[in-house]
Structure 1
Amino acid sequence: MGNADNIKIGVKGKCYVAPVGTTMPTTPVAAWGTGWVDLGYMHPDGLEEALGEDRTEVMAWGEEAPVKTRVKSRDGSFKITFLETTADLLQLYYAVEADDMTSTAAAVGPPAVPQFLSFGTGQASPGIERALGIDIIEGDEIERIMIARVDVSDRGNRKRSADDASSFELTFKPLAAPSGGQAVQRFLTNVSLT
């Protein structure tokens, strides 16, 4: 018979980024340490995770089905839409490093000028690599996903209108871990092995 306690619902979530190599938490309830930045409010649609595999199939004479398969590669993606406009999200969306942005302080004037951030885009770049952390939370149930190294593989269109928040839809693609370890580490509370 089934157990309703095993049904997990992502009621809310948090998403963090840090420079690649930043120390990750060692438990699902440990605080995100120095270097991790909270990316703020996210769209109610939450997180969309996709997994994929590329396989080689070995066929044998006289057999209709493969006799053996081998995984050539595994990949995945994590898609989230963020609602806040921050320097960290602008860096990820426009593939611009912080060193290539300029923050100009407000001036009283005359004329008065508000504080503003400026940067340029349009040149090819190698992408913006970060470490990524995601907490999926339902009461005291936490699923923590920690990805050692990601790049933004897809960016949704930004819409600016009076009907909706100007959002940042980002799809993160896990890359090989810098030390050769696990690319994606997961913690799930209240899930037993037996």
Structure 2
Amino acid sequence: MKRLLTSVEEAPVVERDGYHYLVHPISNGLPTLDPALIREVVNGIVETTALEDVDKIVSPVTMGIHVAAAVSLVTDIPLVVVRDREYGLPGEASFERPDGETLYVNDVQAGDRVLVLDDLVSTGESLAAVVEALADVGAEVVDVSVVVRRVDTDTVLTDLDVSSLVDVHVHADGAEVVDIVEL
């Protein structure tokens, strides 16, 4: 995970309204996303996630999609993207994120075993809402995995086991790696 470590350590941090944002290629598409970095991340997810029991990968819109699509390509596990647009298809489920935005899930049915995969988790409120929506349609969440987990924010994922490739503490001077998966 050498590239991931370096990319986090070199990532700029910007402040908005007192909150420090990590600007990282995996979670923001900035700076430019190096194919070797995404390859390393995808290999890390494949090696550390229990994929043998997964029917579908579910990724919330937007920035986790490129990682989830790459994992889908490598594993041949179908990908479902949680959308911010209603399509009105049969079985479409909607739910509200903590910020008030309504999201929509299609093509996930009762009994589906899913991996929820995203780029970054800070508080976990949005991921918790996705997991709850999947449970409401009767899907079984096999695993919840993210590339980067911020450990300097208050988390709400008390009943979810979220795996990450790297845990970071973000402050005004940059990001400090707290833990990283060794492969």
Task: Give the structure-1-normalised TM-score.
Answer: 0.24
Structure with bigger helix share is: 2
Larger Rg: 1
Q: Per residue, is there more strand in 1 or in 2?
A: 1
Normalising by structure 2, what TM-score? 0.25
